[in-house]
Amino acid sequence: VFALECEALLAGDNPFHIKPYVMKITPTSARVAWVSQGKVPAGSVTVGDDATAHAPEVAELPDTICRLHSVVLEGLQPGTAYEYRASCGGQSLQGSFKTAPAGPAPFAFCVIGDTQSYNPGLQPLLDDMARENAEVIVHVGDITDRGNMWGEWKASFFDPGWCYLQKAVFAPAYGNHDGGPYFPRLLGLSPFWYSFDYGDAHFIILD
């Protein structure tokens, strides 16, 4: 992890140090976030065919040279698949998500846990999850091995998980390995217990 973090620092300014991911879904809203490294502009997010550029809130991440960009998209239609484009520092990345249905409707979700201490043997499972085209990914905790180490988040979770994070809503639980300043900031969760509806299912996420 230290070697990977040094490589990332040597690479210099990076608009998408952590690629975009989607959280906090409702029938009419969603939160898109990503992390930049170094001195890059705040960027924007556009959704579907709408040319409106949504400006993110930008916050410094402690003990790093990185910043969190976060956009809450509102006024969306229930049960609708959306493509979005995040633009930052002259680069852009695309992703997709589906808003929660307003009432009963079939949907697919995946559950995973203990992605800590990532090794390549886990990647085929992550790739299989991506092929399931699930609307929601629930993570039951221990996203990283040492949540207080900044490099763990990119190396152990966000980079390997980009295959499914780019097209599903992420709903994580807080694990005992995830302590430190980054879990609440990256995932916008404080306190660490919450619930949400998706169609006629009610998800309860506990600390």
Give the type of residue at 135. Answer: E
Taking alpha carbons only, the member of 143, 138, 149, 137 closest to residue 117 is 143
Q: Per-residue pLDDT tens for 158-172?
A: 999 999 999 999 999
Share of the chain above pLDDT 70, in %: 100
Residue 157, pLDDT > 80, answer: yes
Residue 1, pLDDT > 80, answer: no
- Retrieve residue 82's tokens: 């959306």
Residue 53, pLDDT > 90, answer: yes
Which pLDDT score is estimated for 79?
96
Q: Report whether 203 contacts 171 (CB < 8 A).
A: yes
What rounded mean pLDDT belongs to the chain? Answer: 94
Res. 32 pLDDT band, cuts 50 70 90: very high
Q: What is the DSSP string of 6-27?
A: HHHHHT--EEEEEEEEEE---S
Q: Per-residue pLDDT tens for 67-116?
A: 999 999 999 999 999 999 999 999 999 999 999 999 999 999 999 999 99
CA–CA dist 123, 151 (Å, integer)? 18
Q: Give the range among 27-36, 43-52, 62-71, 160-169 with minimum mean pLDDT.
A: 43-52
| Number of alpha helices (DSSP H) and beta strands (DSSP E) in the chain | 5, 13
Output 190 or 56, whichever has higher pLDDT: 56
